[in-house]
Amino acid sequence: MQRRFFIPMLCLIFFLHPGLIYAGTTGRSVAVQLLFFFLLFRSLFIYYKTQTTFSLSMASIYLTCLIFCNFNFIWLILALVPFVLLISLEGLKQSKYGSPIVQYYESVNNRSQRRKLTLRTVAIYIILFLLPIGTVYLFRLLNSLHAGNPTYFLTSQYANWSITGNNSLGSIFLGENLVGRNVLSQTQIIFQGYILLLTPLMIYVFYIFRGRLYELLTLIAPLIFIGILLLDNQIYLTIEYYLIFLVLALIGVYTYSGKKFGVKAMYPFLMLIALINIITGIMYFERSSDREEKAFFGTLKSAAKWNGERAYSEEYKMATYISNLMSREITLKEKNKILMDDAAAYAIVAQLRKLGTNVILPVDFNFITVAENPMTEAKYVCVAKESNRLKSFTVLNSYNLNKIAKHDALVTTMMFETENWAVYRLDKMDPDFITSTVQ
pLDDT at position 280 is 94
pLDDT at position 437 is 45
Side chain identity at residue 9, one-letter code: M
Cα separation, 378 vs 336, in Å, equals 6
pLDDT 10s digits, 109-159: 777 777 888 888 888 899 999 999 999 999 999 999 988 889 888 888 888
Side chain identity at residue 242, one-letter code: Y
Cβ–Cβ < 8 Å for 379, 337: yes
pLDDT 10s digits, 416-436: 999 999 999 998 876 554 444
**Does the reported pTM lie above 0.85?**
yes
Q: What is the mean pLDDT of each run of 10 residues along the chain (439 residues)?
A: 72 91 88 95 88 90 94 92 76 60 72 81 90 93 89 85 80 68 82 91 88 83 91 86 94 74 68 91 90 88 77 89 86 78 90 86 89 88 92 91 89 92 88 48
pLDDT at position 331 is 66
Cα separation, 182 vs 238, in Å, equals 10
Cα separation, 155 vs 157, in Å, equals 7
Cα separation, 213 vs 220, in Å, equals 11
- What's 397's DSSP letter? B
- What's 332's DSSP letter? T
pLDDT at position 161 is 80
DSSP 125-140: HHHHHHHHHHHHHHHH
* Neighbour count for residue 392 (Cβ, 10 Å): 11
Cα separation, 111 vs 117, in Å, equals 10
Pairing of strands 337-339, 378-384: parallel
pLDDT at position 50 is 83
Pick the closest to residue 359 from 344, 338, 379 (CA basis): 338
* H-state helical runs in 257-394: 266-286, 291-301, 314-331, 346-349, 367-372
Cα separation, 67 vs 169, in Å, equals 23
The residues facing 63 across adjacent strands are none
pLDDT at position 181 is 78
pLDDT at position 154 is 85
pLDDT at position 38 is 95
pLDDT at position 289 is 85
pLDDT at position 179 is 61
